[in-house]
Structure 1
Amino acid sequence: MYEAVHAHPDGAATAARFAATAARMGYDGVVIRARETAPDYPAVGEASGIDVVDAVEIVASDPERASGAVGGLRPDHTLLCVRGGTDRLNRFAVEQERIDVLTRPMAGDGDVNHVLANCAAENGVRIEFDFGPVLRTTGGERVRALRDLRKLRELVADADAPFVVSANPASHLELRAPRELVAVGEAVGFDAETVRAGLREWGELAARNRHRQSDSFVEPGVERGRYDG
C-alpha cells in the first residue's frame, strides 16, 4: 500500500523523512506530490527501503491555467494530479485522460455528481477520497467532511469509477498507518478492502505509468520487441 504526501517545501517534512516514517508504518511506497521540489527519488527509496514515486499536483485557479500546466508537466512525472475544489476544475480533470488523479474534489466549493463520476470512469481518472479533513478537523467542519465522503463514496461506486485513498499528509506527523485509515473509512461506510484497494492504487498506477514511459511500450496491448527498430 502507498500514501501520497506533500513534501517540503510544499509540506513541512522532507521526502526522506516521509519515506522513513512510511516504511516504519508498513507502507510499500510513498508518492511525493511535488510542486516546487525534485528530491533524489532513487536515493530516498534506497535509504528507506520502499518505493518512492515522483508525482506533481497541479494547483490552479481555473481550467485554463491547469491545462497549460498539464501539457508542460505531464512528460516529466510518473504521476500527474490536479487539485479540484471548484466545479470547473473538477470537470476539467475528469475529462482529461492525461490526468491520473483528481485530488480534493470536495474541498472549497467543489462538488461531484453522477455526470462527473461517469466521466472519470470513462477516462480512467482516479478520484481521490481525501480522509485528511476527517482526521484533522472537529465540529461542524468534520461533520461536513464525513457527509461529503459518504456522498462521494456512493457516486464512485455507482459509476464504478477508479479511485485512490489518502490522508493528504503535509508532515510526517500527519501520516497514519493503513489500519488507521481503514478505521476512518469504515466510519464513512467503506469496507476495509475498499480502503486498502484505494491505497494500493497509487502503486499500481505508478507501475502502469512507468511501463508506459519505458522504451518497450508502444501503446496499450502493443510492446516493442528486442529486434524492433
Structure 2
Amino acid sequence: MYAAVHARPDGQSTVARMAQTASRYGYDGIVVRNHGDCAATFDAEAIADEYDVAVVEGIEVRASDPSRASGLVGNHRSSKTIVAVHGDSVAINRFAVEQPTVDVLAHPTRGDGDVNHVLAKAAADNGVRLEFSLHDVLHETGGTRVRHIQSLRKLRELVEHYDVPYVVSGDPHSHLQLRAPRDLIALGETIGFSPDQIETGLREWAALIERNRRRQSDAFVEPGVWLDDE
C-alpha cells in the first residue's frame, strides 16, 4: 500500500520525514503528490534506501480552467509516474474524467466540485480513478465534517453503481497527519465503508504505479501492444 502525500513546500514535512513515518506505519511506499507550483526537491533513491520504503514522484495539477489543466497534464505526463488533477469545480472535474492520460481526480467533491452519473460513467470509460480523500473527515469538525461524510457516501454510491475505479488516501500534509492503513480502514467503517473498500482503494496506488512504469518502458507501444524483445 502507498500513502499519497503533500510534502514541503506544499506541506509541513520533508519527503524524508514522510517516508520515515510511512515506513513505520507499514506502507510499501509514498507518492509525493505536490501541486505543480510547490514542487519538492528530493533524492528518491537515497530516501528509499534509508527508510526501506519506495518513493514515487507524482503531481497534483491545479488549474483555474480546463485549458490550463490540459497543458499542465501534457507537460508532466511523461516525467511523473502519477498524474492527478486537483478537483474543486465541476468544469475541472469534467475535464479530468474525460482524459485517459489522467490517473486520479483528487478530492472531486471539495470546493465547488461535484460528481454526477455522467462524470462517473466518463471516469469508468477512461480509467480515471476517483479519490476518496479522508482528509476532512480526519481533520475537520462540525458541519464541515458532516458535509464531507455525506459527499463521500454519495460518491461511493456512484462508484459502486458505475464500477468506477478509485483510490483512497488520508491526503496528509504533514508526517503528523499520516495514518496507518488499519486506522484508515477503521475510520472508513465508522462512516459506512467496508474494510475491503478502503483496502482496495489504498492498494490501487500501487497498481497505478506498476501500470504507469510499464507504460514508461521503451517496450510499450499502446495498451496491449509491446515491442518484441528481439
TM-score between the two structures when normalised by the length of structure 1: 0.97
Residue 113 of structure 1 corresponds to 116
Q: Structure 1 residue 189 and structure 2 residue 192: aligned? A: yes
Partner in structure 1 of residue 210 of structure 2: 207
Which among 100, 103, 107 is matched to residue 100 of structure 1? 103
The residue type paired with residue 148 of structure 1 is S
CA distance in 1, matches of 2:104, 2:213: 16
Q: What is the Cα deviation at residue 182 of structure 1?
A: 0.6
Q: Equivalent residue for 2:219?
A: 216
The yes-or-no answer on 1:124 pairing with 2:153 is no
Q: Distance in 2 between matches of 1:214 and 1:96?
A: 21
Runs of 4+ in 1 over 3 A off after TM superposition: none
Gaps of 5+ in 2: none
Residue in 2 aligned with 1:27? 27
Q: In the TM superposition, what are the counterparts of 1:75-94 in structure 2 within 5 Å?
A: 75-94=78-97
Q: How far apart are residue 149 of structure 1 and its match?
A: 0.6
SS at 2:202's partner residue?
Answer: helix
Indicate yes or no: 2:18 matched with 1:13. no
Describe how 1:40-189 pairs up with structure 2 within 5 A.
40-189=43-192
Deviation (angstroms), 1:136: 0.2
Distance 1:183 1:4 in 2: 18
Deviation string 1:119-138 (CA, Å, 9 cap, x unpaired) is 00000000000100000001
Q: Deviations over 1:167-193 (max 9, x none)?
A: 110000000011111112112221101
Please give the per-residue CA displacement for 1:21-67, whole angstroms capped at 9, x wherever unaligned.
00000111110013322421111111111111110111111111111
Residue equivalent to 1:3: 3
What is the one-letter code of the residue matched to 1:39? Answer: F
TM-fit CA distance, 1:219? 1.9
Partner secondary structure for residue 85 of structure 2: strand
Q: Partners in 2 of 1:89 and 1:139 — Cα distance?
A: 28
- Between Structure 1 and Structure 2, how many residues are aligned? 227
Per-residue CA distance 1:151-181 (angstroms, 9 max, x = gap): 1111111110000001110000000011111
Q: Matches of 2:198 and 2:54 in 1, distance apart? A: 20
In structure 2, how many angstroms separate the alpha carbons of the residues matched to 1:157 and 1:226? 40
Q: Which amino acid aligns with 2:76?
A: L
Query: Percent identical across equivalent pairs?
Result: 55
CA distance in 2, matches of 1:5, 1:29: 10
Q: For each residue in 1:76-129, what CA deviation from the matched residue of structure 2 results, as whole angstroms up to 9, or x when unmatched?
A: 101100001100011000000000000010101111111101100000000000
After superposition, what is the alpha-carbon deviation per residue over 1:177-212, rounded to whole angstroms, capped at 9, x for unaligned?
111111121122211011011001011100110011
Q: What's the secondary structure of 1:60's corresponding residue?
A: coil
Normalised by the length of structure 2, the TM-score is: 0.96
Q: Secondary structure at the match of 2:84?
A: strand
Q: Matches of 1:62 and 1:221 in 2, distance apart?
A: 33
